[in-house]
Structure formats: structure tokens, C-alpha cells
Chain A
């Protein structure tokens, strides 16, 4: 069962524009959500997180929005830069890290 879904396998945006990556989840017990970024030949690295008590968390150019009623979160990157080109994984967890589930990832390409 795929509890975390990233329905867009790829996204292409122009440098300087906004990138919006989406993620949906089905398990209402999830209360902590993360985005990881993965470059080729490297492991995923933590980017930003949000707990269910918030609906927005911002870190520089990266903002994560959480809509609990819709079981949906999104990652906004503004402005997008070519160095942001990578695969982005959405992840969600419940009581502890053992419950963490990942989406299949979205490959973002930022064109100069």
C-alpha cells in the first residue's frame, strides 16, 4: 500500500520561476512530514520538515505547506535555480521514525 504519493514523476521550470512539488498521503496517523532532496550518485539529504500543528514552514527559498484536511502537502521553491535540479522525495511519519514512508519522488529540472 502506497501511503505517500507523488503523482508527478517530473517537473520542469525556468530559472527564477516558482517550483511547486506536490505530495498526498492517506494515513491520518501521520503527523510529521519531510522533504528530502537527492542528487545523482548521492543519498537523499534532508531539506525541510513540518509538523501537523503547523500549516506552513519556511526556510529561505523553500516553503512547505500542509493541508491536513486534504492530506496534502507541497514544497515551493522560489526563485528556482539550476542547482535545485534533483529528485525530491516527500516523507511522512507517525509515532516514530519506524513509521516513516516515502513517496516515489519527483524529478525537478530547472532550466537556465
Chain B
């Protein structure tokens, strides 16, 4: 089945220690998104890639970076995790056609990050 895969499902890191979360997709979609979701809050878009074009949300901290080496993979790098970065991180994709209007987003299961 075509899908969005996130590994690992749980990630523990230390305060200030760089961490990378990964996302892969077999849907061959052009657009990949990273969301942060804190407990009982709405998923918040951090950034997205349209093909190789990177688009950062204005309020995404510089501590968060992303890489997309090819269509299938996208990484979220947190350079110096703080306690406030503990959250669920969701990766999503969409086709990226039709002017990107009204496209369904397909989500992975998420990686829960714990910062000690």
C-alpha cells in the first residue's frame, strides 16, 4: 500500500543534542509537510517542500531545519532541542497538482519526541 512512513515512532534526545526525524513516502507526491503538535493543541505547520522548493513558515524557529534529498524522503533536523520542543511531529504529503488547491494531505503516524 502506498503510504507515509515515519521513523522512529518514539525518539528520546537530550537537551541541546541535535536530533533528526525522518519521513518517507511511496505516494510519489510533490509536496511534503512537517507539522508540530503539542499535547491537546492543533497541528502547527513548520515548513513544507514543493518538490525541491523549501517554504518556511514565518514563525518557525531557526532551531528547526529540513532537508529533502529526493522525492521520497524528507528530514526534520532540530539543532538544539529544548524542553519546549517535546511534541508529536507529523509528516504529510499532497500531490502538488492543480495549483495545490484543495488537495488532501496524507499523514504519517508521527514521531513523538521526548527531550530530557
Give A contacts to B, CB under 8 Å. 2, 4, 9, 32, 34, 36, 41-46, 49, 51, 89, 93, 95-98, 100-105
Contact: B42 with A100, CB < 8 Å? no
Query: Which B residues contact A (CB, under 8 angstroms)?
Result: 4, 6, 9, 31, 33, 35, 40-45, 48, 55, 90, 92, 94, 99-110
Measured between beta carbons, the chain B residues less than 8 angstroms from A34 are: 104
Asked whether, in the complex, the Cβ of A4 is within 8 Å of the Cβ of B42, the reply is: yes
* Contact yes or no, B94 A97, CB < 8 A: yes
Q: Residue among B33, B44, B99, B104 with the most chain A CB within 10 A?
A: B104
Q: In the complex, how many angstroms separate the beta carbon of A108 from the nearest chain B beta carbon? A: 15
Provide the bound-state CA to CA distance between A29 and B23, in Å. Answer: 31
Contact, CB under 8 Å: B40 / A32: no
Q: Known contacts being A43-B4, A104-B40, A105-B42, is A32 close to B102, with CB within 8 Å? A: yes
Contact status A96-B42, CB under 8 Å: no
Nearest to A32 among chain B residues (CB) is B102
Chain A residue nearest to B59 (CB atoms) is A1
Task: Choose among A43, A46, A102 the residue that contacts B110 (Cβ–Cβ < 8 A).
Answer: A43
Task: Knowing A32-B101, A32-B102, A97-B101 are in contact, say whether A104-B107 is a contact too (CB < 8 A).
Answer: no
Q: How close is A96's CB to chain B, nearest CB, in angstroms? A: 4
Q: Are A45 and B107 touching (Cβ within 8 A)? A: yes
Q: Say how far A57's CB is from chain B's closest CB, in angstroms.
A: 13
Q: Could you tell me the distance between the alpha carbons of A49 and B94 in the complex, rounded to whole angstroms? A: 15
Q: With A4-B42, A104-B42, A105-B42 known to touch, is A96 a contact of B100 (CB < 8 Å)?
A: yes
Q: Nearest-CB distance from B10 to chain A (Å)?
A: 11
